[in-house]
């Protein structure tokens, strides 16, 4: 039957995956409806993820750079931090972007329905919102329901001193001593912010390195720098208990030898991963399979087991990144419009916007070793880069991996300031099948950090001359 509203394409969730899919579907002539439970569009990324974290990381960078200018003969006083002003700067960035999205939806005649949507059948979604109940019938659907932070059973999540990334971005206060539970990208980015604002930081990570996923040698310069700034970094250590006391949160740790110790913190940020929202939308009523963890499996056209229902973004799997969601959103919308599009990207770059940044794409050395893939590498240490020395930050490393058969670049790992921007060149090189000579013979502007990509290729070729 027909719902209160009928859509040719309905998109469930308005994060980077969802709004991209909705806009693309509308641009391709489809009557499109976008369902979002929050009044603001933009999902996690714009409201409580990528964007607010980067606004705060920018501020953190300015603070630490000013502190470190002392070594170059320039001293500033201790920064005066007005948390209310900082919060409103961050909020203004968010509202500028989410407001912009609202305008873009209107301009395309994408109808936004506010409320929480669940399937009631293979062609029907029911939305419960501030204005009551609306039914939306559809020809095709794109699920973009995203993910939320993982909670741990033995942690008193109800205590206001226990926060997740959303809580950390709220900037309620600057705790004296803060524990970051989880040494992944989100935890370390928030650690970076609160360290700059004046908190004493402890990081605890189960694995034997921070930022598991990136190569160890590439993570080392970041580890070394934060080791000098933070109170503690516990690796191969797990948190086994947490007690909410008046004096603070008493945390029990267990190290690799099985020995326990405790410490008390003013705040604990739990950043142990994110779980997909697949189980929360009654997908079974539409016949869409959701696995135990909440992920929805899709084919290379983003199609679920039900041919007219697609899924994209965090809800379909790792890596949970905005640019992956956006790319998948375009694929799904174009397939809905009858195009023969597939997800055929060779790689999805990952970036930790810590200080220094850590970025990687394609094959990593760790992955090559575990899978027995043959590779050769070109490594350029930034201590020989004129630009990084001028910046006073020469700890970076640019590492490129090549296929020994044809010298094509197949992976990169970069650590250093602006590594996130630098990785894009290598991503393009890999997509285009470029080889070491292509990267080595392309004239890069001097002096820039981008030269380190050029130099890493020349290190591999053995054609490097002066180190500058
Ligand atoms: P989401 O952004 O999760 O959006 C899903 C939307 O759907 C939400 O608005 C939700 O309210 C809505 N929704 C869900 N279910 C329903 C329903 N049933 N009815 C109505 N609405 C519903 N990624 C990067 O690439 N770079 C970064 O720098 C980065 N930084 C991050 C920092 C933090 C602190 C966090 C938490 C994440 C970060 N990410 C980053 C990850 C990024 O935010 C996600 O990968 C991205 O937002 C996923 O997009 P999505 O479209 O799949 O879903």
Tens-place pLDDT, residues 325-381: 999 999 999 999 999 999 999 999 999 999 999 999 999 999 999 999 999 999 999
Q: Is 416 annotated as a binding residue?
A: no
Task: Report d(CA 144, CA 281) in Å as an integer.
Answer: 11
Parallel, antiparallel or unpaired: strands 274-276 and 147-149 = antiparallel
CA of 15 to the centre of ligand 1 (A): 5
DSSP state of 418: T
Supply the residue whose CA is at minimum distance from atom 46 of ligand 1. Answer: 322
Residues having CB closer than 6 A to ligand 1 are 12-18, 35-38, 43-45, 49-50, 53, 116-117, 144-147, 165, 186, 277, 281, 313-314, 320-323, 325, 353
272-320 confidence digits (pLDDT tens) = 999 999 999 999 999 999 999 999 999 999 999 999 999 999 999 999 9
The candidate with the shortest Cα–Cα distance to 163, out of 193, 135, 119, 130, is 193
Task: Report d(CA 85, CA 55) in Å as an integer.
Answer: 13
Share of the chain above pLDDT 70, in %: 99
Cβ count within 10 A of residue 75 = 10
Contact assessment for residue 291 and residue 302, using Cβ atoms and an 8 Å cutoff:
no
Tokens of residue 25, six digits: 């579907």
Q: For residue 232, is pLDDT > 90?
A: yes
> Using 50, 70 and 90 to split pLDDT, how confident is the model at 29?
very high
DSSP state of 303: B
402-442 confidence digits (pLDDT tens) = 999 999 999 999 999 999 999 999 999 999 999 999 999 99
> Using 50, 70 and 90 to split pLDDT, how confident is the model at 445?
very high
Q: For residue 160, is pLDDT > 70?
A: yes
Q: Cis link prior to 356 (omega < 30° from 0)?
A: yes
DSSP state of 280: G
Q: Exactly one of 339, 342, 441, 446 is catalytic; name it.
A: 446
Parallel, antiparallel or unpaired: strands 32-36 and 147-149 = unpaired
- Which secondary structure element, helix H or strand E, spans residue 117, and what is its range? strand 116-121
CA of 274 to the centre of ligand 1 (A): 10
Question: Which of the pair, 465 or 180, is modelled with greater confidence?
Answer: 180
Q: For residue 466, is pLDDT > 80?
A: no
> Using 50, 70 and 90 to split pLDDT, how confident is the model at 1?
confident
CA of 347 to the centre of ligand 1 (A): 20
pLDDT of residue 467: 61
Task: Report d(CA 219, CA 212) in Å as an integer.
Answer: 9
Q: Is 207 annotated as a binding residue?
A: no
Per-residue pLDDT averaged across 12-22, rounded?
98
pLDDT of residue 468: 59
The candidate with the shortest Cα–Cα distance to 41, out of 128, 116, 119, 100, is 100
Strand, helix or coil for residue 383: helix
Q: Is 189 annotated as a binding residue?
A: yes
Residue with tokens 């050395």: 365
Tell me if ipTM is over 0.90: yes
446: annotated active-site residue? yes
List beta partners, residue 400: 378, 412
Report the mean per-residue pLDDT for the chain.
97
161-198 confidence digits (pLDDT tens) = 999 999 999 999 999 999 999 999 999 999 999 999 99
pLDDT of residue 395: 97
Per-residue pLDDT averaged across 113-121, rounded?
98
The pTM for the full model equals 0.97
Per-residue pLDDT averaged across 53-75, rounded?
96
């Amino acid at each position: 039957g027909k719902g209160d509203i009928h859509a040719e394409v309905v998109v469930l969730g308005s994060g980077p995956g969802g709004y991209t899919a909705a806009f693309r579907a509308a641009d391709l002539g489809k009557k499109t409806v976008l369902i979002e439970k929050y009044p603001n569009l933009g999902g996690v990324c714009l409201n409580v993820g990528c964007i607010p974290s980067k606004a705060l990381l920018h501020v953190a960078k300015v603070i630490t750079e000013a502190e470190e200018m002392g070594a170059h003969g320039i001293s500033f006083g201790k920064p005066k931090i007005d948390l209310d002003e900082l919060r409103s700067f961050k909020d203004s960035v968010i509202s500028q972007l989410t407001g912009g999205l609202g305008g873009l939806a209107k301009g395309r005649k994408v109808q936004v329905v506010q409320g929480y949507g669940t399937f009631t059948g293979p062609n029907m979604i029911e939305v419960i919102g501030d204005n009551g109940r609306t039914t939306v019938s559809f020809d095709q659907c794109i699920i973009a329901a995203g993910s939320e932070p993982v909670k741990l059973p033995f942690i008193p999540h109800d205590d206001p001193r226990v926060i997740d990334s959303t809580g950390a971005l709220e900037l309620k206060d600057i705790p004296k001593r803060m524990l970051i539970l989880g040494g992944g990208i989100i935890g370390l980015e928030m650690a970076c912010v609160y360290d700059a604002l004046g908190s004493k930081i402890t990081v605890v990570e189960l694995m034997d390195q921070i930022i598991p996923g990136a190569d160890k040698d590439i993570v080392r310069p970041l580890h070394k720098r934060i080791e000098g700034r933070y109170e503690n970094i516990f690796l191969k250590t797990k948190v086994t208990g947490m007690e909410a006391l008046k004096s603070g949160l008493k945390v029990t740790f267990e190290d690799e030898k099985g020995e326990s110790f405790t410490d008390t913190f003013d705040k604990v940020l739990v950043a142990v991963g994110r779980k997909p929202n697949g189980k929360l939308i009654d997908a079974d009523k539409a016949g869409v399979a959701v696995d135990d963890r909440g992920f929805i499996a899709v084919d290379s056209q983003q199609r679920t087991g039900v041919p007219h229902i697609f899924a994209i973004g965090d809800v379909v799997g790792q890596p949970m990144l905005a640019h992956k969601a956006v790319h998948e959103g375009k694929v799904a919308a174009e397939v809905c419009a009858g195009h023969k599009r597939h997800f055929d990207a060779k790689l999805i770059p990952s970036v930790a916007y810590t200080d220094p940044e850590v970025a990687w794409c394609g094959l990593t050395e760790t992955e090559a070793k575990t899978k027995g893939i043959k590779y050769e590498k070109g490594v350029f240490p930034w201590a020989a880069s004129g630009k990084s020395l001028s910046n006073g930050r020469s700890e970076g490393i640019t590492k490129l991996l090549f296929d020994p058969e044809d010298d094509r670049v197949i992976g990169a790992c970069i650590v250093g300031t602006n590594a996130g921007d630098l990785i894009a060149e290598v991503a393009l090189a890999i997509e285009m099948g470029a080889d070491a000579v292509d990267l080595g013979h392309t004239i890069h502007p001097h002096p820039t950090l981008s030269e380190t990509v050029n130099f890493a290729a020349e290190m591999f070729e053995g054609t490097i001359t002066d180190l500058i």
